[in-house]
Chains A and B, each alone.
Chain A
Amino acid sequence: MSSLTLAARDSSTMLRRNLLHARRYPSMTLNLLLTPVMLLLLFVFVFGDAMSAGLGGGHADRTEYLAYLVPGILLMTIGSTTIGTAVSVSNDMTEGIIARFRTMAIHRGSVLVGHVAGSVLQAVASVVLVGAVGVAIGFRSVDATALDWLAAFGLLVLFALALTWIAVGMGLISPNAEAASNNAMPLIFLPLISSTFVPVHAMPGWFQPIAQYQPFTPAIETLRGLLLGTPIGNNWWIALAWCLGLTVLGYRWSKAVYDRGAK
C-alpha cells in the first residue's frame, strides 16, 4: 500500500473514531454553542436598539443590526468549537490508547488528522446550527449569488481548519482538560475585540489597528461582504493569509509536539 493510501485510510479510521466520540458525547459541543447563541440573542433583543443606533449614521434598525451581527457570530462559533478540540485532544493524549497507536504500523500523523477533520466537520455543523438560529430570528442574505455562498462556505471551512490546527497544538501542550480549556481562551476572546459587535471605526483610535488586523476581523468583513454585499476591500486576502498562515503554523507546531512525545 502506498504511503498516501495508508495515510488516507488510517486518517479516515481516526476520523470515524473522533466522530463516534462526538456522537456519543455531544453535550460538550452543544454547550460550546451556547455562548454564540446567547450573545446573538442578547445583542439583538436586549441591546439591539442601542447597538443599531451606532450603525449607518444612526438610521439603522434592529433587523439591520441582526444582519451586521450574524457573520461575526458565525466565525465566533468556530472559535468556540475549537475549545472543544483542544480539550478532547488533551484528554486523548492522557489515554493509553495513544501509546498503542504509536506502537502500531499506522500512518503517524493520522491521529492528529483524524482530530482535525472531525473538528472541522463539527465546526461546520455548528455554524449551520447557529446560522439556522440567525435565520429563525430574521437574518437574510442580501443579493448573495451561489458563488458568494460557495465562497462563504469555503472561507468558513478554511477558518475552521486554521483555528483547529492551533487548537490541536494547544491541546497537545496542555497537561489536562482544564489547562487546554484555558489555553484556548483567546479563540473565544478574540471575536469580542473584533468587528463582530461594533464597527472598528467606532473603537478608540489606538485600538483600531489591533481590532482591524487580528484574524477575526478580516474574515468577518469578508463574510459580510459575501452575504450582505458590503465592501470587502483588501480584507479577503488578509483573511486568506491568516487562514493559511495559522494552518501551516498550527500543523507544524502540533506535529513537532506530537513527535516529541516519542522521546
Chain B
Amino acid sequence: MPSSVMPTPRMTGGPQAPAAVSAVGLRKSYGDKTVLDGIDLHIPAGSVFALLGPNGAGKTTTVQILSTLIRADGGQARVAGHDLTTDPDGVRAAIGVTGQFSAVDGLITGEENMLLMADLHHLPRSEGRRVAAELLERFDLVEAARKPAQSYSGGMKRRLDIAMTLVGNPRIIFLDEPTTGLDPRSRHAMWRIIRELVAGGVTVFLTTQYLEEADELADRIAVLNDGRIVAEGTAEELKRLVPGGHVRLRFTDPDAYHSAAAALSGTAMSGAARDDEALALQIPSDGSQRDLRAVLDRLDAAGVQADELTVHTPDLDDVFFALTGGTTPTDQTKEAVR
C-alpha cells in the first residue's frame, strides 16, 4: 500500500519553460454537485499533457473551461498568455479544440467544412483552398472530401475534426478523449497524428481514460478524480506509485497450490494474495526479468509447477484504486466476476 499522501513531483532546476496553460484553483459546480474542486495546472509550451480520469471525473469540464466554452466559478487561468476571464478572444485566437463529440457540420461535405473554417479564420480565398486541400490530403480524406460529413465513419469524422481544428494553425490544441470509440487502427492513426503535431511545436492538452494512451503520448500526466488532481508526474513516476503490477500463478492441483504458497511465504514475495477457490496466487511485482526469475527460482526450489503464469502491469483501475487512497484493487472480486 502506498501512503495516502501522494507525491506530486514537480520539475526542478533550471528556469521553467513559458507556460502554455497555467491555472490556479479552478472550481466549477452545477447546483450542489461540485465538478471541479480546485485544479492547479502548469503546462510548459511545446509539451504534451494528459489529464487522466474516469467518466465524471471532470476532464471535459476542465477542457470546456480552458477553451472558454464555459466559465469557472472560481480560480484563475491563463492560456497562451491570455487571461481566461478578461481576454477570452485572445485565448480563442491561440487555441484549437476537438471535443469529445464530433464538432463537424454533418450536413455539408468534408471540403466545405474545411473551407468554412478557413473563412472563419479570415484566410484569403486562395490560401484557404490551399490549406484545406493540404489538410485533407494529410488526414487521408481526399476521397471523401466531396461527401457529406455525416456519412463518414467514426475515425474519419475524428480526422476531419482535427483537420478543422488545425486550419487556424493553433499553438495550443485541446483534445477531449480523442480516441474514445475508435477502433484500434484509427486509434493508432490518431496517436501518429498527435505525435506529428507535437513535433511541429504545438502544445497538446489531451484527456483520456486510458493509461496506455497517456503513457504513449504524454510528457506529463495528471490524474483527476472527483474534481481533484490526485497525482501528477511522468508516466514512469505514476506507475511507480501503483501497486497493481503482479505475477499471477494458477494451479489445478490443490497440493501444488499449497506448496507454492508455503514456498513463497516468508520471503520477499510474502505479499502474495491467495485465492483458495481459484487456486491462484498473486505476487506483487514490477514485471521485471529479475523479479520473475526470483519467483520461478523459488518455485523450482520447492519443486512446484504452476499451470499458468501471467504478468499483470498496472492499468487505470490500479492507478485509481491506489491514488484515491481507497481499497486496493479487489482482484479476487474481479477474477470471480470474469
Interface set of A (CB-CB < 8 Å, partner B): 1, 9-10, 13, 16-17, 20-21, 24-25, 95-97, 99-106, 262-263
Task: Compute how far the CA of A17 lies from the CA of B108 in the bound complex, rounded to whole angstroms.
Answer: 8
Task: Compute how far the CA of A132 lies from the CA of B106 in the bound complex, rounded to whole angstroms.
Answer: 34
| B107 adjacent to A103 (CB under 8 Å) | no
Chain A nearest Cβ from B87, distance in angstroms: 11
Given A9, A20, A100, which contacts B103 in the complex, CB threshold below 8 Å?
A100
Which of chain A's residues have a CB closer than 8 A to the CB of B93? 105
Q: Which of B108-159 contact A (CB under 8 A)?
A: 108, 112, 116, 119-122, 148
Task: Compute how far the CA of A104 lies from the CA of B93 in the bound complex, rounded to whole angstroms.
Answer: 7
| B103 adjacent to A262 (CB under 8 Å) | no
| A95 adjacent to B106 (CB under 8 Å) | yes
Which of chain A's residues have a CB closer than 8 A to the CB of B116? 13, 17
Which of chain B's residues have a CB closer than 8 A to the CB of A10? 120
Q: Tell me if B50 is interfacial: C-beta within 8 Å of chain A.
A: no
Sample 20 A-B pairs with CB under 8 A, ordered by A number.
Answer: A10-B120, A17-B105, A17-B116, A20-B108, A24-B107, A25-B107, A95-B103, A95-B105, A96-B99, A96-B104, A97-B103, A100-B97, A100-B99, A100-B103, A102-B69, A103-B97, A104-B92, A104-B120, A104-B121, A105-B92
Task: Compute how far the CA of A105 lies from the CA of B103 in the bound complex, rounded to whole angstroms.
Answer: 16
Which of chain B's residues have a CB closer than 8 A to the CB of A97? 103-105
Task: Considering the complex, give the chain A residue whose CB is closest to the CB of B148.
Answer: A24
Chain A nearest Cβ from B36, distance in angstroms: 13
Q: Which of B212-234 contact A (CB under 8 A)?
A: none
Task: Compute how far the CA of A262 lies from the CA of B68 in the bound complex, rounded to whole angstroms.
Answer: 8
A106 touching B71 in the complex, CB below 8 Å, given contacts A17-B108, A100-B164: no
Task: Considering the complex, give the chain B residue whose CB is closest to the CB of A97.
Answer: B105
Task: Compute how far the CA of A20 lies from the CA of B112 in the bound complex, rounded to whole angstroms.
Answer: 9
Which of chain A's residues have a CB closer than 8 A to the CB of B102? 96
A263 touching B103 in the complex, CB below 8 Å, given contacts A10-B120, A17-B108, A105-B89: no
Q: Tell me if B95 is interfacial: C-beta within 8 Å of chain A.
A: yes
Q: State the main secondary structure of chain B at its contact with A.
A: loop
Which of chain A's residues have a CB closer than 8 A to the CB of B58? none
Other contacts beyond A96-B103, A262-B68: 11, CB < 8 A: A1-B122, A13-B120, A16-B119, A25-B107, A95-B103, A99-B69, A100-B103, A100-B165, A103-B69, A105-B89, A105-B93
| A263 adjacent to B122 (CB under 8 Å) | no
Task: Compute how far the CA of A36 lies from the CA of B103 in the bound complex, rounded to whole angstroms.
Answer: 36
Which of chain A's residues have a CB closer than 8 A to the CB of B71? 262-263
Q: Tell me if B70 is interfacial: C-beta within 8 Å of chain A.
A: yes
Task: Compute how far the CA of A104 lies from the CA of B67 in the bound complex, rounded to whole angstroms.
Answer: 9
| B69 adjacent to A106 (CB under 8 Å) | no
Given A17, A24, A95, A102, which contacts B68 in the complex, CB threshold below 8 Å?
A102
Q: Which of B78-100 contact A (CB under 8 A)?
A: 89, 92-93, 95, 97, 99
Task: Compute how far the CA of A103 lies from the CA of B67 in the bound complex, rounded to whole angstroms.
Answer: 6
Given A20, A21, A96, which contacts B101 in the complex, CB threshold below 8 Å?
A96
Given B95, B104, B108, B119, which contacts A13 in the complex, CB threshold below 8 Å?
B119
Which of chain B's residues have a CB closer than 8 A to the CB of A103? 67-69, 92, 95, 97
Which of chain B's residues have a CB closer than 8 A to the CB of A95? 103, 105-106
Task: Compute how far the CA of A138 lies from the CA of B188 in the bound complex, rounded to whole angstroms.
Answer: 67
- How does the 8 Å CB contact mask read for B277-301 relative to A, with 1 for contact and 0 for none? 0000000000000000000000000
Q: Tell me if B168 is interfacial: C-beta within 8 Å of chain A.
A: yes
Task: Compute how far the CA of A96 lies from the CA of B67 in the bound complex, rounded to whole angstroms.
Answer: 14
Task: Compute how far the CA of A2 lies from the CA of B37 in the bound complex, rounded to whole angstroms.
Answer: 39
Task: Compute how far the CA of A11 lies from the CA of B70 in the bound complex, rounded to whole angstroms.
Answer: 23
Task: Compute how far the CA of A97 lies from the CA of B164 in the bound complex, rounded to whole angstroms.
Answer: 10
Task: Compute how far the CA of A100 lies from the CA of B70 in the bound complex, rounded to whole angstroms.
Answer: 12
Which of chain B's residues have a CB closer than 8 A to the CB of A101? 120
Interface centre among A9, A96, A101 (most CB of B within 10 A): A96
Task: Compute how far the CA of A68 lies from the CA of B69 in the bound complex, rounded to whole angstroms.
Answer: 52
| A99 adjacent to B103 (CB under 8 Å) | yes
Chain B nearest Cβ from A6, distance in angstroms: 8
Task: Compute how far the CA of A102 lies from the CA of B102 in the bound complex, rounded to whole angstroms.
Answer: 14
Question: Which 10 pairs from chain A and chain B are nearest by CB?
Answer: A96-B103, A100-B103, A105-B92, A105-B93, A13-B119, A96-B101, A103-B97, A103-B67, A97-B105, A105-B89
Task: Compute how far the CA of A103 lies from the CA of B121 in the bound complex, rounded to whole angstroms.
Answer: 12
Chain A nearest Cβ from B335, distance in angstroms: 40
Task: Considering the complex, give the chain A residue whose CB is closest to the CB of B92.
Answer: A105
| B70 adjacent to A262 (CB under 8 Å) | yes
Which of chain A's residues have a CB closer than 8 A to the CB of B95? 103
Which of chain B's residues have a CB closer than 8 A to the CB of A16? 119
